[in-house]
Structure 1
Amino acid sequence: MAASLLQRCVLFGRVSSKCKTHAFTARRCLLSASYLDPKIWEQRTEDPHNLAQLAFVMDRTYEKKLPVSSLTIARFVDNVSSKEEVGQAEYYLYKFRHSPNCWYLRDWTIHSWFQKCLKYGARDKALHTLKHKVQYGMFPDDLTFNLLIDSFLKDEDYKGASMVVEEVMLQEAFELPSTQILSLYALAKYLAAKPELSWQEERSMGAALLIAGLRQDNSAGRSAQLLGSALLGKVEMSRGIHAVFQQMPLIWTPGYLSRALAVMENVCSGTEGVKLSKDALDCLEGVLRDSGPVCEVDATRGDEDTQGVPGTGTDEEDQLEKEKLPEYAGRFQDLSSKLQSLGRVDTGGLLALVSALADADLGVAEGADGELYATKVQEWEQERQMLVQREKELRERRAAGASG
C-alpha cells in the first residue's frame, strides 16, 4: 500500500519563538484570518428577501414548466441565515441545475453557497455538492477552493482537505500559487498519517500531486511530481494505462515510471539547491520493486470507475511497459547514487518541504489573492445590479402592456 511507502514523511508542527525585539519565526501553513476579508463580500448592496416567498415562486414556476431566473436562485442562497436553510438551498440548487436555465448559475452564487456552508457549519453539504458537481453545477473558482481546503486543514481533517484537492485537480484549477501550496500541503499532511489507500485513491492522489507539482519549480514541486508519477506508475503497472487516465486530466501515453525517473534526471542536471524528498524516492523505489499484476480477486471486484468501460485493463502497451521494469530499476539506482553524491536528497520529507514553501511564499500569494478577490466581488456586484435592472425593466414593460 501507499502508506508503507510513505512512512518516512515527517509530521510538521508549527513552531514559534519570541524575543524582546519582537522578532519571531513562525511556521505558517494555513491561510491568515484576514484571507479574503469577509467585509469585502458583506459590503455588497443588500437585497433582502423572504425565503418562503422565494421558494413559493420557484415551485410555482417549475410547476408551470418555466425557467427560474439565475437572479432568483442567487437571492435564495444570499438570504440563507441558518444551517436548516442551507439544506433548503441545496434542494433548489439541484432543481435549478436540472432546469432549462441550468447553464446560468452565476459564479457569485457558487461562491455564496460555499460561504454559507462554512458559516453555518454545513461543510458536509459543501463537500457533497462539490463531489457531485455535475448534479449541482458547483464549479468554484480557485479562491473559493482555497477557503474550503483551509477550513478542513484548520480542523485537522486532512482526508477532507485532500478530497477537495482532488476536485481542484479534476477541474484543473491550479492557477493560483496559493491553491498550489495549500493543495500540496493538504496532500502531504494526509499522506503523513500513513492512510490505507485504495488504488483509486492512489490514482487521485498521484494525479493531484503531479499536476500541482508541475506548477512549482522548486524542491517541493519536484518532489510532488516524483511522488505523483510513482503512484500513477504503480496503478499503471497493476491496472494498465487506461485505468490511469480514466476521468483524469492526464497524459494517455504509457510510462509514468519513466516520467518519475525523468524528474530525478532533471534534478541531477538542474538548478543547484533543488532537492528531492527521501520519502518520494523511497516510494518510487518500492513501486519499482513491488510492481506486478493485480491479484485475481481484486481484478474481478466491481469498480465504478472502470466497470463497463471499453479499453480498460492491460494490453500490449502495458506489457511492454512492464518489461522495462528491470531497466527502470537500474536507472533508479544510478540516479539515486548521483543525487546522493550531489547532495540533492532532502531527508526531511515532502511535508517539511511544502511547509517551508508555505512559510516563504504563502504570505505574498495571499496579498495577490486579496486584490484579485476585491476585483472579482466588484465585477460580480456589477453583473448582479445589471440583472436587477434588467428584471425591473422587464416588469415595467409587462405592467405597461397589461394596462394598455
Structure 2
Amino acid sequence: MTKKPQQREHYLDSVRAWLMLLGVPFHLSLIYSTQGWSVNSPHPSAWLTLLNDFIHAFRMQVFFVISGYFSYMLYLRYAPKHWIKVRLERVGIPMLAAVPLLTLPQLFILKEWTSRLDGWAALTPYAKYNMVSWDLISHLWFLLVLCILTTLGLIAFRLLRDARRAKTDYSDLSWGKLSLAILAYSLLWGAFRRTIFLLQPQWLMDGLFSNMVMQSLYFLPFFILGAMAWKYPAIKALFVRPDYRVFAGAALAFAAYVANQTWSSGEGWLYELDAVISMQMGLWMVNVTFSAGHRFLNSHSPRITYLVNASLFIYLVHHPLTLLYGIFVTPHITSNTLGFFVGLLLVFGVAFLLYELHLRIPLLRFLFSGKPQKTRAAAAPVKQH
C-alpha cells in the first residue's frame, strides 16, 4: 500500500531556519549585555541584555521540538540502521568538520586577543583539558546534543512507533496538562542538578559532562514532544492553533526569567529556577512560533528555501566572526545600538559570502552538510527537512 506523500510543511522549515539565524543577534547582543562573555562592551546596554535574555530563554527548546518532529518523520521512512547512519552523518560530519576549521582557530583567537586563557601556564592538566573542551565544543554543543538525542531516538522512536494508537490519540491534551508535565520534568531535572551540586559540584564545571549529560537531559522532552507531534495530529494541531492564554503565559515566563537572572545567584537556586522557567517558556513559545509560522510562513518561497539551506552554515561560521567583530570593531563604536546593527550587517554579510564560496567547493559542501555530493547530471530534486 502506497501512502499519499504529505505536503511539505514550509512553515516548520522557515521557523527552524529563523531559529538558527537568531544565533547571530544572540551572540552579538551578548557582547553588549551584562552577561560576561569572551568579549564585552565596557558599558552594557539594557535593551540588548533584554534581547539576549529573550532569545536565550526559548530558542533552542523550540528548535529541538522541530528536530524531533522531522527526525521521527525520517525514522518512519527508513530502516532504523539506515536512519541512524544518515542522521548521524548529517549532524556529526558538520560538527566534526567545524572543530578543526572553526573552533580550533577560534581557540587561538581567544588566546591571542582576549583574556579568556590568561593564567594558562598555572593551570593543572585537567583544567587545561577542560577549558579546551569547552572552547572546542563552543557553539557546536547543540550538534553534540542532537547526536546524543538521535542515538537515544533509536529506542524512544521504536517505542513510540509500536505504541497502540487505539490507546489514546491525545485529543484531550490541553496546554494545562502539557505544562504540568513539563513542570514535573523540570523539577526532576533541577533535583538531579542540585544533587550533583551537593555531592560532586566539579562535574557541573566539566565541559563534556555539562554538554553531553545535563544539556541532553534538558532538551530530551522537547525532542520527544516533537516526535509525538508527528505521530499524533492532535498534538500538532494544539501547537499550530494560537492560544492567547499561552501567549500571555510566555510573556509572564519571560518576566520571571529576567527577574531570576537579575536577582538570583549561582550559589543559590539560579540554575534550577532557570530550568523551571525556561522549560515552561520554551514550551509556550512553541505555540507562538508554530502558530505565527503557520499563519505567515506556510508557503513556498525561493528566498526562504535559500535561508533554510544556508542556516546551518551561517550558524557554524558566525561565532568566530562575531568574536573577531567584538575584538577589533566594537571598541571603535561608542554607541552600543549602532555597534549591534553594524555587527549584524558585517557578520551576516561575511557569513553569506563564505556560504556562497563554500557552495563552489564540493569538499566543503560535504563537510558542512554531511550529504554526499552528486554531479548535476545525476542529481535529482530531493525533499529536505
Q: State the TM-score, normalizing by the size of structure 1.
A: 0.20
Bigger CA radius of gyration: 1
Structure with the larger helix share: 2
Higher relative CO (CA 8 A, sep ≥ 6), structure 1 or 2? 2
